[in-house]
Structure 1
Amino acid sequence: MTGPDYTALRRRCADALQAEDQFGAPWVREVFEKVERERFAPARIRVSDPGGNGGQEVIDYATDARAWANAVYAPDRSLITQLDDGATLLEPGAPGRFTSSLSAPRVVVRQLCHLDLRPRHRVLHIGTGSGYDSALIAERTGARNLFTLEVDDRLAATARRNLDTAGYPDVQAVAGDGEQGWPAGAPYDRVLCTASANRVPRAWIEQTRPGGVILTPYRGLALPRLVVADDGKTASGPIVDAMSFMVLRGQRGTEAADLRPVVKATLSESERVRTDADLSPVKTELGAEFLYHVLVPGTRLVFGEETWWLEARDGSSWAAWKPDGRGRQWGTRRLLTEAAEALTAWKAAGAPGLTALGLTVDAGGDRVWAHEPDGPSWPVP
């Protein structure tokens, strides 16, 4: 029995993406069809349930090569390649935090479109992972123009091997903290981060030439495209897409605490409140959801059928909200009050969609704005 036909799978995946108009420029499809994605996928992968039910399945090349190959080239399936920084094995049903992945082809090509790479562009790529994104970039810019950083030593070594065997030995792939950038290769025309930032490191701006572009997922939802100003000290630009990635290792917090025992123990002493603010856009409008996460940081939302729960990830506070305006809150933070203020700010700015928002980074920190840089704005805590 013959093995999978990777060339045919790659072309079929490209055709599907083309039908959705995901390739913003001809070169993006060209590099996608040239790079052999299968060379960058480990033999065992964890993938999302194709039925869209939120489940996960583990596929091993050794036991089902065809299913593995189909998953590698599924347009909308990301491949989880590591749990808990490698401490937890990729076993079916194994609990753990996702700490590295091979992004879905649809996400990868959209990022490349927004990055707008040119031949001989000097590029800093943060978050090498398996090396796949680096290979795509190298095809466009030339391998010697790419510097790629991976904070995990074992992943960095694997990426180096993958790039070598796939024909990209000249890519400068090293282990290092991406938040610090790589001064030895600066100045860069483009900086791409394939992990989500909760704040944009100053080093990225300082190492990018004026007029250069920084593209990074931000606050777990947005993809801002920042252009470095002539002074080389600030960067600003609109949010160009919705995109969710794992958080940079140096910026991620602890896993959210289970607040059910805390709620049970503190319910009787919690504060009863009533608010006229409608929180429902957080669930239905990406602009509202993003601004909520910016202005009410360190929390998670749990959407119940009748009650929404707002929980501080450190377990210090919680709140409950019902669509009729009734609620409760307890702890060091008044989470329902914070949420109501965030939604009020969003509505006062004209209820902007996600791509009507933008980000400016300067000496004062990060600032989210609506419509244009001098429009309504909010400092990022």
Structure 2
Amino acid sequence: MTTTRDYATLRHNCAEALAVDRQFGAPWVRDAFEAVPREMFAPSRFCIREEDGTYPVVSRATDPEAWGRAVYTHDRALITQFDDGDATGGQAAVGRLSSSLSSLRVVVRQLSHLDPQPGRRGLHIGTGSGYDSALLAERVGARNVITVEVDHRLAADARRALDTAGYGDVQTVVGDGEHGWPPGAPYSWVLSTASAMRIPWAWIEQTAPGGVIVTPYRGLALVRLVVANDGESASGPIADAMAFIPLRGQRGRDVVDVRPVIDATMSGAERLSTTVDLSVLGEALGAELLFHVLVPGVHIRFGETWWFQSRDASSWAAWKPTGQGRQWGPRRLLGEAEAAVTAWQEAGEPDLTDLGVTVRPDEERLWAGRSDGPSWLVT
């Protein structure tokens, strides 16, 4: 049986590994990490993703030692829910990942970028297990943390875990985090642990001038925004590369299987040679993010042949690094990809962290270098 002392040792050893990797951006983050018992927030069963794409179940009941090691593995997420249901699929699990305990490497980096100040009240979007809320409580005080969770079952489990772990003063709310939580506003900080395709204006409205908003962004990035003194905008750089499960209201449609369409239309597809090297889309995150902003609703599958497809399967394209390609449908996807790569090149080939975001009530823009530099409307 794994004891409280065993978990404390696992936690300390994990902290040492994170420190060696220089993941703690501020001393308080390590202090909070070592203070919060993560094992109290992990469900008794969860899944982990293996390299072969399977999701084996780790069970505390059947293998408590493996369960404890997994809880304190610093570079792996614990999948707690598929398709808004229970994480019980195991090896054959399929479907959409809908909740997880993020890898500890990601958790501590995100908190370091937020860096909330002691005693300052804030809003946490995406309660999940409650673990992140407990870490925030260690920094700002439990009474200063309000956390919102859209899934009532997850919220109930988090409430129990917070109470049991000694963070009963954290306020948990069941609701849609895209709308924030107006009764608690204004906030000094907002942290989302769900990825936004578009940054909800409600978060900015509910944040005091000078307040900080940190959120995963468009499945690739972590953006840190500061609300302007007049409250009419928020702007800031992309601080890190980071992937999170999206906000439920911003998931968009699932990618339709385009293979039957390809089989039926391949003979009539347009053949062409690209004049722009698209390979940077698989090599430079800055180029990939700009592609997804300028070419919305398109999924890329990398391989010997790259496949571009609109999510509704109405258009597709195939491209090889030799520059040879085919495309079919009302959208000329290779042409759109070339235009996006050209825009990235003309902006000076910015890295991901050379980009930033400005949000106003009527628009959101991605920019390169600085907020008055080259910019593109986010649609």
- TM-score normalised over the length of structure 1: 0.97
Q: Where does 1:243-322 land on structure 2 (aligned, <5 Å)? A: 243-305=242-304, 307-322=305-320
**Which whole-Å CA distance do the structure 1 matches of 2:370 and 2:23 have between them?**
26
Unaligned residue ranges in structure 1 (runs of 5+): none
**Which whole-Å CA distance do the structure 1 matches of 2:36 and 2:107 have between them?**
12
Letter of the structure 2 residue corresponding to residue 36 of structure 1? P
Helix, strand or coil for the counterpart of 1:86? Answer: coil
Matching residue of 1:366: 364
| Two-structure CA RMSD over aligned residues (Å) | 1.3
Matching residue of 1:202: 201
**Which whole-Å CA distance do the structure 2 matches of 1:34 and 1:215 have between them?**
23
Matching residue of 1:220: 219
For residue 40 of structure 1, report the CA deviation from its aligned partner: 0.6
Matching residue of 2:40: 39
**Which whole-Å CA distance do the structure 1 matches of 2:288 and 2:146 have between them?**
34
Matching residue of 1:379: 377
For residue 164 of structure 1, report the CA deviation from its aligned partner: 0.7
- Residue deviations 1:28-53 (CA, integer Å, cap 9, x gap): 1000000000001001111132xx45
- Residue deviations 1:195-247 (CA, integer Å, cap 9, x gap): 00000111000000010001000000011100000111200000000000011
**Which whole-Å CA distance do the structure 1 matches of 2:375 and 2:340 have between them?**
12
Conserved? CA contact 1:123–1:145, under 8 Å:
yes
- Residue deviations 1:78-119 (CA, integer Å, cap 9, x gap): 000000000673332221110000011110000110001111
Conserved? CA contact 1:3–1:65, under 8 Å:
no
For residue 144 of structure 1, report the CA deviation from its aligned partner: 0.7
> Is 1:339–2:328 an aligned residue pair?
no
Helix, strand or coil for the counterpart of 1:361? Answer: strand
For residue 258 of structure 1, report the CA deviation from its aligned partner: 1.0
Conserved? CA contact 2:79–2:87, under 8 Å:
no
Matching residue of 1:24: 25
Q: For this pair of structures, how many residues does the alignment match?
A: 378
Conserved? CA contact 1:27–1:140, under 8 Å:
yes
Matching residue of 2:68: 69
Helix, strand or coil for the counterpart of 1:174? Answer: strand
**Which whole-Å CA distance do the structure 2 matches of 1:104 and 1:266 have between them?**
42
Helix, strand or coil for the counterpart of 2:135? Answer: helix
For residue 55 of structure 1, report the CA deviation from its aligned partner: 3.9
**Which whole-Å CA distance do the structure 2 matches of 1:325 and 1:264 have between them?**
22
Conserved? CA contact 1:38–1:69, under 8 Å:
yes
Matching residue of 1:149: 148
Q: Where does 1:7-156 land on structure 2 (aligned, <5 Å)? A: 7-49=8-50, 52-86=51-85, 89-156=88-155
Question: Residue 324 of structure 1: which of 303, 322, 334 is its match?
Answer: 322
- Residue deviations 1:47-66 (CA, integer Å, cap 9, x gap): 132xx454432111110000
Conserved? CA contact 1:196–1:246, under 8 Å:
yes
**Which whole-Å CA distance do the structure 2 matches of 1:88 and 1:338 have between them?**
38
Conserved? CA contact 1:226–1:236, under 8 Å:
yes
**Which whole-Å CA distance do the structure 1 matches of 2:2 and 2:123 have between them?**
39
**Which whole-Å CA distance do the structure 2 matches of 1:332 and 1:121 have between them?**
51
Conserved? CA contact 1:44–1:90, under 8 Å:
no
**Which whole-Å CA distance do the structure 1 matches of 2:65 and 2:306 have between them?**
42
- TM-score normalised over the length of structure 2: 0.97
